[in-house]
Structure 1
């Protein structure tokens, strides 16, 4: 679990992202604030959609640690929280792909357009990662993969 920043209307917003040990994006959330409340909101959303993790690896952010501890306490569960800068390299590297695409856009005009665009970027990015890992989809184009998902 980590966050990076994205420019919206000339201000910095924070894109929270979680990546599993296989490099697949678990969830993401764009927020205006980088605090415990935002981190807790993101973590709760990710757990609701994907279930409880065994471990959470975070960087040195006190907000992320407080959010993870609060979620564990609320749900009365034990999740190992690893707070090591270098173990978080997988998600940091994953940010690069998103930042590479959004940097050339020179920021977004509105929060809504940023959110919609990031959903599309994350979807395409996820399709690319999945197609590289799965031999059955390796020969399909992104459009063909998307159509097979859509039904």
Structure 2
């Protein structure tokens, strides 16, 4: 894998990687990361942390996605209302049968065109075809799946889509911490990087033993070190 260039950055790459890990892994602001680094004797401004997150976050996420196994073939789709810059918008989200975030799109509408955009992006990027697509009863999904000749995969059974609806919770926490997303573009940039990093460290600890949790944490950190060229 081609190495990431940290050329012309005053701080050591390990500090940059740690700052980005803290910001995306936990519900923190840039100022929170600044304070944690300061406690360790590292004087970095929150604006520098912001620039690092924008520059390196997307690249780390792209590398993580490249090395993740193929997703589960059951896909769960949902959309949630958000206020961005004083305007009503929607976060369209897709997760698989194991709870991994497949993609998130910020869109202005909740219609067939918006549903088609999400579905086409999923089909293009995931590398597999789904065996089931679970949604709520929003008609936009049915219309979009008809256009794609995939209506036979559609399932709108009551409460079956709870997996997708629950997946909004971490983003809602981040949204509150960030005092709402400031623009369509900045929201999409953050969410595109956040999803793969969240997947890497999401161990679903409530379902596993302590021993398994330690093993999965170790595996996740090894993968993180690899994709950020720390190993």
Which category of TM-score, normalised to the shorter sequence, fits these structures?
A: 0.7 to 0.9
Unaligned runs of 5+ in 2: 1-76
Distance of 2:148 and 2:97 partners within structure 1:
21
Distance of 1:147 and 1:6 partners within structure 2:
34
Matches within 5 A, 1:11-22: 11-22=87-98
Distance of 2:116 and 2:187 partners within structure 1:
21
Q: Which moved more, 1:130-139 or 1:98-107?
A: 130-139
Matches within 5 A, 1:9-88: 9-50=85-126, 51-72=128-149, 79-88=152-161
- CA deviations on 1:107-136 (whole Å, 9 max, x unpaired) are 222211111121232233212225868865
Distance of 2:185 and 2:196 partners within structure 1:
17
1:92–1:78 distance in 2 versus 1, CA, 3 Å: closer
Cα-Cα RMSD: 2.4
Are positions 1:139 and 2:218 aligned together? Answer: yes
TM-score normalised by structure 2 residue count: 0.56
Higher strand share: 1
How many corresponding residue pairs? Answer: 146
Distance of 1:110 and 1:138 partners within structure 2:
34
Matches within 5 A, 1:62-141: 62-72=139-149, 79-129=152-202, 136-139=215-218
TM-score normalised by structure 1 residue count: 0.83
Q: CA deviation at 1:37?
A: 0.1
Q: Which moved more, 1:30-39 or 1:4-13?
A: 4-13
